[in-house]
Amino acid sequence: MMERGPIQPGGIGETRSTCPYCGVGCGVILRADAAGGVTVQGDPDHPANFGRLCSKGTALGETVGLEGRLLAPRLNGQEVGWDEALAHTARRFAETIATHGPDSVAFYVSGQLLTEDYYAANKLMKGFIGSANIDTNSRLCMASSVAGHRRAFGTDTVPGQYEDFEQADLVVLVGSNLAWCHPVLFQRLTTAKEARPAMKIVVIDPRRTATCALADLHLPIAPGADTALFNHLLCTLADQGRTDPAFLAHVNGYDAALAAARNAGETGLSPEALAEFLALWAQTERVVTIYSQGVNQSAQGTDKVNAILNCHLATGRIGRPGMGPFSVTGQPNAMGGREVGGLANMLACHLEIENPDHRAAVQGFWAAPTIAPRPGLKAVDMFRAVEEGRIKALWIMCTNPAVSMPEADRVAAAIRACDFVVVSDCMAETDTTRLAHVLLPAATWGERDGTVTNSERRISRQRPFRPAPGQARQDWRIIAGVAARMGWAEAFNWHSSAEVFAEYAALSGVAGGLGSDFDISDHAQITPQGYDALKPFVWPAAGARQGGRFFAAGTFHTPDGKARMLPIATAPVAPRDPAHPFRLNTGRIRDQWHTMTRTGLSARLGAHIAEPFLEINPQDAARLSIAPAALVQVENAHGRALLRALVTDRVQQGQVFAPIHWTGETAPSGRIDVLVPSVTDPVSGQPDSKAAAVSVRAFDAGWYGFAVSAQAFRPDCDYWAIARAETGYRAELAGHSAPEDWEAFARTLFGLPQAALTAVTDPRRGVVRMALTDAEGRLQAALFIAPDPVALSRGFVTAALGEAAEAALLSGQPGANRPDAGATICACFGVGLNTIVSAITEGRALTVAALGQSLRAGTNCGACRPDLAALIARHRQQDTEAA
């Protein structure tokens, strides 16, 4: 095993850390270079990934530049010193609390924070300010799993481990596009199935996602019908004698749950497909049910979770190798936030805010002047309170709610109108930082020092490979600075992340004494050296209680020690709104992360999908006269978005899908959360993010455009979406009406008033093509305008930036000597669609493995392997049809 060496800024030190993106929590080995950059490799010794990385993790080294970083505190737009910024923040919060009470202030934090940061924020709000108005963006991600776990198990406990995926005979993925959202787990599953083809995989998803490439059975369930499906399953288990009476002795509520399940209702599946699934699940002992945002992000999310848990509890298939329910989390430290009390309705270490003994224990441990007496405002309610003026001072840490919250425009307006807004962020310009009175520069991945917890309860270290730039500081230090200026210096007098972690571990020992499952008190005496060397471990870590699985013995964290099955009523199908007849599903794409502040810096990641899009079924598109690649307008009472039409039968009629990643910085009209209503699950408070009712119609575009520039630029037209390229920037454009003077438009767009300009125009066809060059004839920018979506080789045009401009450039197509690689499919090796299709159609590579041998495609992170398989399958189908 490689040992971690010292960090040597400017040298060749080696650092073990953890990827900052999804909840898989992959270990990485970082090697800093002399220029402040870093190379990244999967850590072969980390138990989450054993050396694997996905495209996002592989590209981490391309995202550590300082462009766009917030490097100094700002007060009302002016740079100030830390002391002034912290003192001002402390004074405004103290004044607000003194005048309006502790519940007039709030923190909105993030699953991107490290546990130590979370701990400090939670301690300040709940123990010293005396309110529980601290909630996390993880509320948008997995709060329904937390609520479901607590209802069934008494605690928020994930029972299993990742290795269960590999040991199962049946893996059921519900509302989880694992291939794109948790790619390394998908790789592990793929490898397991290749080694043991008898293993069955079922994907339950209204949409045919990339994950379906691995599935033996895809169930295109009706949206929201998960409770119906698992209620059917519970009935089947009962009727076929597949329940486990011995385990049911440890479970309450079976009869009521079964009685409710008898009214299961419709699933939208064919009787054959439904029967096949029920038989498979009922007859397979080792079954893991993995679920994710498709279950959680729902107005019935908690019920969906409990409908799944009911089936595992009824059969005793829980906490043993290869079996159990498994919630995979979206963010790198969503689990850490759950453990440390980042949610408004929990105390630290899984202690309960409603329990007076728990409150007293936490207050006593902290020697705090107070303790929050009741749960605080959950995310959606918090921003509603901001809008209504009940929250008068708001501190947003490490997240971008002006884009990511439901009804994002309304949330942005509420933040803008709030009396006092502080934003801690690593980036200077986000949709949210623009609304702040005080901006506090935060350290980010590669600079921060702390811990995160992944989806299998494994706590790993994030370690810095370089010092924070400028005046940036780690979040817990910023929080402690404000706390000190509010009069609580002693309680926040930590000198290192190790000290914060040790205090947290000690508090978990108190919690363990009160019966909490979360106890890592073995680490309460950890030294800075021990913290530095800390290896990934699974909690609990306290005396004889060490890691592993939960609940196989039938002991739960409820007052009587029994689990609880819940009667789950099948959710009624919402009536269709004729004015908004489509159901909008939202989610992630393979190569971007959240609002793209980091992944958007990588040209390689932007090459896969460079603009926001709307998947729409071919029959719906034909009915609405929407051509492939045209722009569509998606609208409801909350907002409006313009998106590129992706006509595909991956979505069913009446349903559309759009990604969540684009912002005011990258595609202002592609912000999809402006359309999501702030309807929430009544138990978890999690928003219903996959069920907005919308209308869809063709956008009346007068012109379409494609632009490239060596320098950053910000278009000003009805639609634009900008992305990084290796040579500069590329943008898609469109507008209702064409400007009168395209040359003036181009010069203003690119900020090149003096550049030499070559133009080819055809006014009759509405075609304009312009190249702008410098004094040496090198291409600085180019603009292509057409009445329809611009057809040209984007790779060819983008690659020409900085090169001597050729006459062929304005044709938009490379010559025969330079074939167009097409849109990037394999991000790791930059292999394009056209290159892959050529290899397939010419018979050079007819399997995924052969494509790997021939082109290297799919041989690194493997995230594109489902796409490669789909291209091969499409080619085979075309061959069959032609024969």
Q: Which residue has the tokens 């607000």?
A: 96
Minimal distance, residue 55 CB to ligand SF4, in Å: 7
Q: Is 121 helix (H, G, I), strand (E, B) or coil?
A: helix
Question: What number of other Cβ atoms are within 10 A of residue 194's Cβ?
Answer: 10
Of the candidates 861, 633, 721, the residue with the CA atom closest to the CA atom of residue 57 = 861
Q: Which residue in the block uniquely carries the two structure tokens 């008494």?
A: 154
In angstroms, give the least distance from the CB of 602 to ligand SF4. 13
Q: How far is the CB of 863 from ligand SF4 (least distance, A)?
A: 8
- Of 250, 252, 157, 155, the C-alpha closest to 514 is 155
Task: Closer to ligand SF4 by CB, 30 or 436: give it.
Answer: 30
Closest CB 599 distance from ligand SF4, rounded Å: 9
Closest CA to 340 of 65, 119, 13, 50: 119
Beta pairing class for 38-42 and 251-252? unpaired
Q: Give whichever of 104 and 462 is closer to ligand SF4, judged by the CB atom.
A: 462
Please report, as a single letter, which amino acid is at residue 315. T
Nearer to ligand SF4, 58 or 399 (CB): 58
Closest separation between CB of residue 440 and ligand SF4, Å?
26
Name every residue whose Cβ is closer than 8 Å to that of residue 714 and which is 6 or more positions away in sequence.
Answer: 722
Helices then strands, each counted (H, E), the chain: 28, 36
Instruction: Note the residue count of the chain.
Output: 883
The number of beta carbons lying within 10 Å of the beta carbon of residue 200 is 18
Nearest CB to ligand SF4, comparing residues 181 and 632? 181
Contact 189, 214 (CB under 8 A): yes
CA distance 509 to 503: 10
CB of 526 to ligand SF4, least distance (A): 25
Note whether 439 and 433 are within 8 A (CB): yes
| Closer CB to ligand SF4, 454 or 497, in the complex | 454
Closest approach, Cβ 211 to ligand SF4, in A, equals: 14
Residue of 644, 645, 657 whose CA lies nearest to 694: 657
* Residue closer to ligand SF4, measured from CB, 63 or 835: 63
The two tokens of residue 858 are: 């799919």
Shortest distance, position 719 Cβ to ligand SF4, whole Å: 29
Q: Phi and psi of 526, rounded to 5°? A: -60, 140
Q: Which lies closer to ligand SF4 via its Cβ, residue 52 or residue 304?
A: 52
Cis peptide bond N-terminal to 206, omega within 30: no
Residue nearest to ligand SF4 according to CB distances in the complex:
57
Strands 27-32 and 393-397: unpaired
* Residue 115, CA distances (Å) to 47, 333, 449, 509 in order: 20, 7, 10, 17
Cβ atoms of 613 and 75 closer than 8 Å: no
Q: Which two tokens stand for residue 153?
A: 């198990």
- Kindly tell me which of 114 and 708 has the beta carbon lying closer to ligand SF4: 114
DSSP 472: -
Q: At its nearest, how many Å lie between ligand SF4 and the CB of residue 61?
A: 12
Helix (H, G, I), strand (E, B) or coil at 247: helix
Query: Cα-flanking dihedrals φ and ψ of residue 401, to 5°?
Result: -65, -20
Q: Edge to edge, what strands does the sheet with 14-18 contain?
A: 14-18, 27-32, 38-42
* Residue 600: CB minimum distance to ligand SF4, A: 15
Minimum Å gap between C-beta 199 and ligand SF4 is: 21
Rg (CA), the chain: 27
**Which pair of structure tokens corresponds to residue 291?**
């679920």
Please report, for residues 274, 363, 479, 487, 564, the alpha-carbon distance to residue 124 in angstroms, rounded to integers and kept in the order given. 51, 11, 8, 11, 34
Instruction: Using the minimum distance from each CB to ligand SF4, give the nearer residue, 114 or 507.
Output: 114
Rounded least distance, CB 172 to ligand SF4, Å: 20
- Residue 183 or 341: which CB sits closer to ligand SF4? 183
Work out how close the CB of 72 gets to ligand SF4 at its nearest, in angstroms, rounded to a whole number: 30
Smaller CB separation from ligand SF4, 173 or 634: 173
Q: Which residues contact 770 (CB under 8 A, 6 or more apart)?
A: 742, 743, 746, 757, 758, 759, 760, 782, 783, 784, 810
Query: Least distance (Å) from ligand SF4 to the CB of residue 183?
Result: 5
The structure tokens 């912290």 sit at: 86
Applying CB under 6 A, the residues found at the interface with ligand SF4 are 19, 21-22, 24-26, 49, 53-54, 56-57, 182-184
Give 21 or 582: the residue with its C-beta nearer to ligand SF4: 21
Q: Which residues contact 679 (CB under 8 A, 6 or more apart)?
A: 299, 406, 687, 688, 691
Q: Between residues 24 and 502, which has the closer beta carbon with respect to ligand SF4? A: 24
In whole angstroms, how close is the CB of 141 to ligand SF4 at the nearest point? 14
Nearer to ligand SF4, 26 or 29 (CB): 26
Nearer to ligand SF4, 24 or 801 (CB): 24
